[in-house]
Amino acid sequence: MTNSSNPGQSIMRRRPFSVKTQTGFTTMAIICFFLLYAPLLPLVFYSFNAGSSLAFWEGFSFRWYVAAWENEMVMDATIRSLYLAISAALISTFLATLAALGTTRTRPYRGLTAIYAMINQPLMVPEIVTAVALLILFAGIKQATDYHGMAYLIIAHSAFCIPFAYLPIRARLEGMDKTLEVAAADLYATRWMTFRRITLPLIWPGILAGLMLAFVISLDDVVITQLVKSSGQNTLPTYMLGQLRRVITPEVNAISSVLLAVSVAIVTVLFFLNKKNNNNKKTQ
C-alpha cells in the first residue's frame, strides 16, 4: 500500500512554473523598464522646449512641432517614408503569408528546415552586411538600366521585412486547430474556398500583426535605406541623421517624439489584438 502524500505538497508540485513568482522578478522588471525608457524621457521633454537648447529648459512651447510641420523637407521625407513603409509592409506580408502556408500547411519534406532558416536569414545576418550586398546588386542594375527610382528601396525593405511578418503568421498557423479545415475538405470544399472561408479569417490577427510589425521596421530603418537610396530619396530617419550631422535643434526631438508615438500606438494595437485573440481561444 502506497503512502498518501500531503495534499498541500501535491498542489505545489502540480503548479506550473512561472517566472513571475521568482524572487526579485518585480525589481528586475522595474530596472529593465527604467533602463529601456529613461533615455526617451529627455527626448520627449525637450521637444517642447521653447528655446533652441537641448540641455537648458527655456519654457513650454509647441514651436518645434510647428516648425517640423511647416518644414517642406520634413513633410516630403514623411510622405516618402509612409509610402515606402506601406508598400514594403503589404508586399512582405503577402509573401510571408504564402511562405507560412507553404511551410505549415504541407507534409514535412526534405529541406523544410533549410527553407525556414533562409526565410529568417535577415534576422541573423548583420544589417550592414545586407545593406552592402544590396548596394552592390542595385549599383549594377542602376548602371545597366539607368533607373534610379523608389523601386530599389521598396524591394530592399520588402526583403528584410519578410521574416518580421512571417513569424507571427507562422505562429498563428501552428497554433490553429486544423479541425475546421479538415471538415471543410470532407464537405468537398476546394482548397481556395477552405482558405478563404476558414483559414484566412482564423489567421487574420497574425497577418495584421505581421503587417504592423513590418510597417514599423520599415519606417524606422536607417542603415539599409542610407546605402540603397538615390539622391533626393531621403526618408524621415535618414533626414534626421543628416540633421544630426549639421545643426541639432529640438526639431529633431519633435520628429523623434512623433515616431515614438506612432510606434507605441502600433504596439498597443498589437497587444490588444493578441489579448483579444487569447481570450477568444479560452472561451472556445
Check whether 230 has a pLDDT greater than 60: yes
Check whether 272 has a pLDDT greater than 60: yes
Check whether 36 has a pLDDT greater than 70: yes
Least confident segment among 30-34, 67-71, 273-277: 273-277
Domain covering 71-246 assigned CATH 1.20.140.160 in the classification: no
3-state SS record for the chain:
CCCCCCHHHHHHHHCCCCHHHCCCHHHHHHHHHHHHHCCHHHHHHHCCECCCCCCCCCCECCHHHHHHHHCHHHHHHHHHHHHHHHHHHHHHHHHHHHHHHHHHCCCCCCCHHHHHHHHCHHHHCCHHHHHHHHHHHHHHHHHHHCCCCCHHHHHHHHHHHHHHHHHHHHHHHHCCCCHHHHHHHHCCCCHHHHHHHHHHHHHHHHHHHHHHHHHHHHHHCCHHHHHHCCCCCCCHHHHHHHHHCCCCCHHHHHHHHHHHHHHHHHHHHHHHHHHHHHHHHHHC
Check whether 241 has a pLDDT greater than 80: yes
Check whether 1 has a pLDDT greater than 60: no
